Amino acid sequence: MTSEFKYEKNGLIIDYKHMMKPLNSSKFAISSSDLKEKSYLFNDMGAYIEERRRSGELGFMDLPYDLKQVDEIESLVESKRSIMDNLLVLGIGGSALGNIAINNALNDPFNSTYTNGNYPRIFVEDNIDPDRIHSLFEHIDWKRTVVNVITKSGTTPETMATFFIAKKIMQEKMGEDYRKHIVVTTDPEKGVLRRHAVEEGFDILNIPRNVGGRFSVLSPVGLFSACSSGIDLGELLRGAREMDTECKASDFYHNPAYLIAAMKYSAYMHGIRINVLMPYSSLLKAFSQWYCQLIGESLGKKDDLDGKICFHGITPVSSSGTTDQHSQLQLYVEGPEDKLIIFLFVGNHKSVVPIYDRELPDELSYFRGRSLNDLIISEGKGTSLSLLESGRLNFEIMIDEISPYSIGGLFYLFEMVTLIMGRLLNINAFDQPGVDRSKILTREFLRRKKV
């Protein structure tokens, strides 16, 4: 169901009234007639997506329906449970950010599930800082650790370098037994890592050939660590499947992906090319970092699909409410009008924390009978309204609660929005030639003799 400037279904609310004229005085705000005109851009979007899906180009859209992978992952996790007090995930970019986002959202932030249940501590190492790696590798109990090394190509330099360091340590500490402590997630058919894994007899999970790294969170890339920590994979994928259904709606105003894409595209065509994702939940902070890679790599392109130079791109910013109200908000309210602020709210937090009010001074009397839950949502709504009063574009996304179902839906929704934005901008949202060049130059530097 919808109401004016609001989508609401299955625990998801998209409220975009702060984007609209005359409520928002910005010269970049959208009128109802403008929005209706933009809706025509989506008339053939469903057919375009379905055609590409049937051709096998959009593998990420099939992941929520792949229940076979769930059985395989659950079986593998159970076989490792007796030696997995720690799970060390080695990956970078799309091989790490989804893992971090899932576990940050759905697990206890202080790893207390390790002592309260049969779940491991999880370490996702997505950088090669020598001091951090040395410290972790010195202190971790390798005999009680499973290492999940993730790289589709098998040649990602950061991941492979760290893996071979870890492998050497495990060989020294465990001898031939080290092999059962390693799970490789990689290409199903080829690549250096796959060849090495087969030769060594490591357990292997496959990344579908038609799924790129930043779209792989609902594949074994993200699901192995999720399952290891007790997250319900069935609910995670159910949330994504039901979101897929919603994103197939032909009615523009009933399709959440169309609505969000329309807001972003309208702002973009007015020159507003910075998107700030601001979740009002610490548990969703890593989700906004995952979003930054998704947007940055997918939409930052020099050439369009016709071979013309376009220099398209949205600059993503990860912000955190309420923290960044005290660091970034001044810029958003009074700085350049070049940002679209996207709020991400949680309707019902897992915990309710009342504010102690027996000795409150009169100046703080507004706390009486309130909780931190009341405060955080009031802070977010107040920030959204302050931006509106300054004529700054913003809209709100709210999930009813943080659960495997809602997180699976959010991942899928943002992936669909990115696919749609690629179509609207006439660019390839699935390659990353700028990153590939960096990898080539890295190898060239390492091949040079030390001076």
SS (H, E, C) the chain: CEECCEEEECCEEEECHHHECCCCCCCCCECHHHHHHHHHHHCCHHHHHHHHHHCCCCHHHHHHHCHHHHHHHHHHHHHHHHHCCEEEEECCHHHCHHHHHHHHHHCCCCCCHHHHCCCCEEEEECCCCHHHHHHHHHHCCHHHEEEEEECCCCCCHHHHHHHHHHHHHHHHHHHHHHHHHEEEEECCCCCHHHHHHHHHCCEEEECCCCCCHHHCCCCHHHHHHHHHCCCCHHHHHHHHHHHHHHCCCCCHHHCHHHHHHHHHHHHHHCCCCEEEEEECCHHHHHHHHHHHHHHHHHHCEEECCCCCEEEECCEEEECCCCHHHHCCHHHHHHCCCCEEEEEEEEEECCCCCECCCCCCCHHHHHHCCCEHHHHHHHHHHHHHHHHHHCCCCEEEEEEEECCHHHHHHHHHHHHHHHHHHHHHHCCCCCCCHHHHHHHHHHHHHHHCCCC
Asked about 78 being catalytic, the answer comes back as: no
270 as an active site residue: the answer is no
What is the spatial distance between Cα 176 and Cα 74, in angstroms, rounded to a whole number? 25
Residue from 6, 21, 381, 439 carrying the catalytic annotation: 439
Catalytic one of 246, 297, 396, 415: 297
Catalytic residue among 139, 326, 449, 450: 326
Question: Distance between CA atoms of 152 and 188, rounded to whole angstroms?
Answer: 9
Q: Give yes or no: 326 in active site.
A: yes
Beta-carbon neighbour count of residue 22 at 10 Å? 8
Supply the residues annotated as catalytic.
297, 326, 439
